[in-house]
Amino acid sequence: MHVALLVPGPLATISGGYVYDRAIIDGLRQAGHTVRVFELAGRHPWPDETALSSARAAWAQLAGDSIPVIDGLGLPAFAPLARELAGRRTVALIHHPTALEPGQTDAVRAELRASERKLLPLLARVIVTSTDTAERLVAEFDVARERLAVVEPGTADAPRSVGSGGPGCAILSVAVLTPRKGHDLLLRALARLFDLEWSLTIAGSARDRAYAENLHALAAQLGIEARVRFAGAVVADELETLWRNADLFALATQYEGYGMAIAEALKRGLPVVITAGGAAGTLVPPDGGVVCPVGDEEVLSKSLRRLIFDAGLRRDMADVAWASGRTLPHWHEQARRFAGALA
């Protein structure tokens, strides 16, 4: 099988969606399939002229026997090519619809929604990373259920986190710095816990620079800047160290198509405190973490207080998280499923 993956470049970008893309590419290649990657230039998902030109150029280079797979972030750039997309066996890989991305103006979101509602029903296949996203596409984007395939992210084998050793609780949050990930809410929730000993490390690239700068300012305003470390886009070895030494994972996300960082935390036996944005809450087993309402600072703060204060409760939840993590699928299994969805 010959596959052409068209993705807003660079493919090496550090985020859950790109981790998924890279892992599936590796799995397909290891299974003997040919994968050619086209890194699309320009601004995505609300495309500028550079993005539109890059999409046209990439489409013109596709081999006749290849199956085009367009990463959902890049799909709006192909709107002028709607007829061409419908004329061959085109597949979209949707981590979550771009129209659902918080932090954009109503006009931008409406434009993205119109583009996705136009393009998605035309495609031969739409692969999504969770059943939650699949249901949203059927209900809101007119995608026929029989054209959908769910291929959840996989996980790699990973050692169990050993924790910080105390004193206090070392909290880790792994997510790119964008409004959707809710870092501002997490900072406000933790700032209420001035009487407890805790530290927070946020690992993630500053995709939205203005938002990232505001987060630094917010930490200072709340008087917790000494407790918060913005680690940025960390390399693999550094991230491994952060996972190993963490006591608790936290994420106040507004929406997740799946929640790969949450799955990673469970894989490593870390208890989690998260908000139930999109599919995120479905990953957390009972007694393996706490799932809070989206946007509820008070409930999030109280949940964090309970786990920061009670190390014994964290240990019990860590055991449940570790057992749950053992049941998560491996990447090689998901690559096989992805290939089956393309066949």
SS3 297: helix
Residue 160 domain-assigned (yes or no): no
Residue 159 domain-assigned (yes or no): no
Does residue 258 share a domain with residue 243? Answer: yes
Range of the domain at 269: 169-325
Does residue 173 share a domain with residue 122? Answer: no
Domain count, the chain: 2
Q: What is the phi-psi region of residue 277: left when phi exceeds 0, alpha when psi lies from -120 to 50, beta otherwise?
A: beta
List the alpha helices (DSSP H) in the chain. 16-30, 49-60, 82-86, 106-119, 131-140, 183-191, 209-221, 236-245, 260-267, 297-309, 311-325, 331-342
Token pair 């009487």 in the structure block, residue: 195
Residue 133 phi, psi dihedral angles, 5° rounding: -65, -40
Residue 161 domain-assigned (yes or no): no
Does residue 127 share a domain with residue 9? Answer: yes
pLDDT of residue 103: 65
Residue 128 domain-assigned (yes or no): yes
Residue 148 domain-assigned (yes or no): yes
Measure the CA–CA gap between 75 and 86, rounded to whole angstroms. 13
Measure the CA–CA gap between 146 and 138, rounded to whole angstroms. 10
Angle between helices 297-309 and 183-191 (to 10 degrees): 60
- Across the chain, which has 343 residues, the per-10-residue mean pLDDT values are 95 85 96 97 94 98 96 95 95 90 79 92 96 93 95 95 94 94 97 98 89 97 98 92 98 92 96 93 93 97 98 97 96 96 93
Residue 286 domain-assigned (yes or no): yes
Residue 6 domain-assigned (yes or no): yes
Given a contact cutoff of 8 angstroms between Cβ atoms, the answer to whether 183 and 218 are in contact is no
pLDDT of residue 102: 65
Residue at 39: amino acid letter: E
SS3 89: coil
Does residue 226 share a domain with residue 204? Answer: yes
pLDDT of residue 30: 96
